[in-house]
Amino acid sequence: MEALQFIIILIFSPMLQGLIKKFKANMQGRLGPGIFQTYYDLARLLKKDMVVSNVTSWIFRATPYIVFISTLAASMIVPVITAQYPFVAVSDVIALIYIFGLARFFMALAGLDAGTAFGGEGSSREMTVAVLVEPMMVLSIFTAAISAGSTNLAMIAKTQNIFYSPSHVLAFSAFIVAVIAETGRIPVDNPDTHLELTMIHEGMLLEYSGRYLALMEWAHYMKQMLLFTIAVDIFFPFGIVAGALGITGFAASFGIYTGKMLFMCFLMALIESTRAKMRFFQLPSLLGGAFVLSALSLLIYIMMGR
């Protein structure tokens, strides 16, 4: 059972996207789509034929599979409801960042490969945001990693407690900004936009259709749930079982995990409903400020020891 906890990410990640949309609609006084609409969208895309430009290379065709498989591999090394699983030896923060970087690299290449202006623009913007986000994310996690004495995610989750110092509060605040940027949400990006000039993540997917687009969208939902899981595992680790799971333990841990995911969905919906999208040239101010928070969290922990 412990070996299959990544299935939770695989199956329920589209529902998380549906929940965020539902929360946003309720906050904005709209009915909104059902929470299972994302599953219907994926099923519809999987049934559709693909239209592929004849100027593209193998990179364009291979990228959806590389992105999906790398995101699935990342979900296998992240503790979800238990810290004991077969891949715990490679469950390292650095490995996780590199796996995400691999998917981002091929997505940017695919956006350029089609030869369209908007694909190239989206790839350029994505790499610019990545340069600002990845150091911030690493520093935020390192604040918790130092207290655990390891960069292993399972070890960090097992050794953290629910009583936080100022360093953990700053690290969590910076990590939330990193999650918003990595998942392409307001105020960094608008996941619902149809204006090509404002797209970042969606700009790289404009040339995809059918099964390819379904794999890319599904991988994006999985990455979003993974980042939510990392956030709650590191900063709200209660409910994670340190050993093997029984039926009762699984039910209890899964219930707590579900509650934490609902909290993250509500938080994302609240941020998106109360903020406007920033102009791209203003993003360094937001992301740079969050980087300062993550650096301060690490310095405060080193100076205070907690």
What is the domain extent for residue 224?
2-115+148-160+193-278
Structural domain contains residue 287:
no
Q: What is the pLDDT of residue 222?
A: 94
Q: What is the pLDDT of residue 92?
A: 85
- What total of structural domains would you count in the chain? 1
Structural domain contains residue 140:
no
Rounded-to-integer distance, Cα 209 and Cα 221, Å: 17
Rounded-to-integer distance, Cα 162 and Cα 210, Å: 44
Q: What is the pLDDT of residue 242?
A: 63
pTM: 0.90
Structural domain contains residue 296:
no
Q: Which of 222, 303, 259 is nearest to 15 (CA)?
A: 222
Rounded-to-integer distance, Cα 176 and Cα 123, Å: 23
Structural domain contains residue 306:
no
Structural domain contains residue 8:
yes
Rounded-to-integer distance, Cα 243 and Cα 260, Å: 20
- Burial class from Cβ neighbours inside 10 Å (0-12, 13-18, 19+) for residue 284 reads middle
Q: What is the pLDDT of residue 243?
A: 62
Structural domain contains residue 263:
yes
Structural domain contains residue 210:
yes
Mean pLDDT, each 10-residue run in order, the chain (306 residues):
78 93 90 91 92 88 94 90 78 88 91 84 85 87 81 78 71 90 84 68 83 93 93 80 68 87 92 84 86 87 74
Cis check for the bond before 135: say yes or no (omega within 30 of 0).
Answer: no
Rounded-to-integer distance, Cα 98 and Cα 241, Å: 27
Q: What is the pLDDT of residue 44?
A: 95
Q: Which amino acid, 275?
A: R
Structural domain contains residue 205:
yes
Q: What is the pLDDT of residue 83?
A: 76
